[in-house]
Chain A
């Protein structure tokens, strides 16, 4: 699991200059030998450890590194 988490974090860091939010399918592509449910377990662990966070439009949800991209304080929230 630790290695899998590193794969996700390295992938997100490698994209840091261009994108901050990713679809779930972007992560399944990183683990061709794993099914979506196993990939979900890796992502859930990272969310629970506060390394990743969710972004939601209301209809679609994406994952990103915590603190990356536009945060609520940038919208003027405390």
Chain B
């Protein structure tokens, strides 16, 4: 029997998918039973009250959470987000229900001991409810009270060797795909770059001095398993310069049906015979492929690294050997301005430890954005307000055709006089000799 009647939430459990409502009810029952005999440090019925306040919000169609506050651990400007309920008498279990963000292991590799230890801390000192993972990628521990914060922080850092993540006007918890640890498409060591930059930028992670949030994400290839170019202010996306490697015999095997396309991913239904021309060549967005029935050819200069052909025929096509990454800047969800995808800034950068070439770009962007950015303005908005050309200037990136998003309507690049041979001045007499009035 739950503490509050929750008919609207109960309805959510009737769908075909696993329900967060069922999960919270399960946690409420577990805390009430207390099988481990824990001395709970925050109210035992907080999951019940969490359901209660959510049901009230569904009924009234408005939130009952107050945002923010002076909560955190000493010296850190991020990692803890204050949450207070504006109906504390009705729902005392969640009157103070702060969120703790914890940096996830690179590539989100866990062992069971880590997860068990994390849950032990949170069962005792928090609500027992977690979100694995938040949209920035970190482990989110939902709901505790101020006196528990330093205790949780101590146990995480001293016993589990893991740090708080980012929140507020900070560098947010960097995130990487699992990269070369398991994926043959990874063009650089995403986990290593993510770890190295996390360690190098500890000050930016924990002591806020940016106009607003700033996110790094590291994708090993353009498949984008952590959606870097859609969700991060600074996206490092693996790419290669040379040709896609083609094994013509394997291509024929795919064409003949000996190897299943997409590594057999669509085997749950009969889609008919694999048609290489229709399903690969005709779907190439830049039309850079040709198949004559015996040989597949790719014009590398026109390839946009969409990954479709490689994903479809992974045994026949492989990423090139001259590997590195592209850097895209400015992706964001809507707040001040609308949602944006990242804009290509550096077409190709080598990704070798200790990643100085990448760090050089990052630091130039930060210096500019910290000076010019308005409060609560993401770097993508600063870039839009002051022009992409300005970003090229401050990062010492030479303008090139690949920076032009839409020729004519949005050329981005306006040449300066000193960049044009001969400047703006011209010999009018010589011109008139060639052109009559």
Contact = CB atoms under 8 A, between A and B. Distances in A.
A29 B168 CA distance: 21
Given A24-B210, A56-B82, A70 B69 contact: yes
B212 A40 contact: no
A31 interface: no
A61 B96 contact: no
A71 interface: yes
Contact of B67 (A35, A58, A69): A58
A36 B371 contact: yes
Q: Which of A36, A37, A60, A71 has the most CB of B within 10 A?
A: A60
A60 B376 CA distance: 7
A75 B82 CA distance: 11
Contact of B75 (A39, A40, A48, A64): A48
A36 B370 CA distance: 7
Q: How large is the interface on A (under 10, 10 to 19, 20 to 34, 35 or more residues)?
A: 20 to 34
B77 to A, nearest CB: 4
Contacts of B69: 55-56, 70, 72, 75
Contacts of B80: 56
Nearest to B210: A24
Contacts of A58: 67-68, 81-82, 99, 167-168
A37 B145 CA distance: 33
Interface of A: 23-25, 35-37, 39-40, 43-44, 47-48, 53-61, 64, 69-72, 75-78
Interface of B: 66-72, 75-78, 80-82, 84, 88, 95-96, 99, 145-147, 167-170, 207-213, 335, 367, 370-371, 374-376
7 contacts: A36-B371, A44-B207, A56-B72, A59-B213, A61-B78, A72-B96, A75-B66
Given A25-B211, A57-B67, 6 more contacts: A24-B169, A40-B207, A53-B70, A54-B70, A61-B168, A75-B84
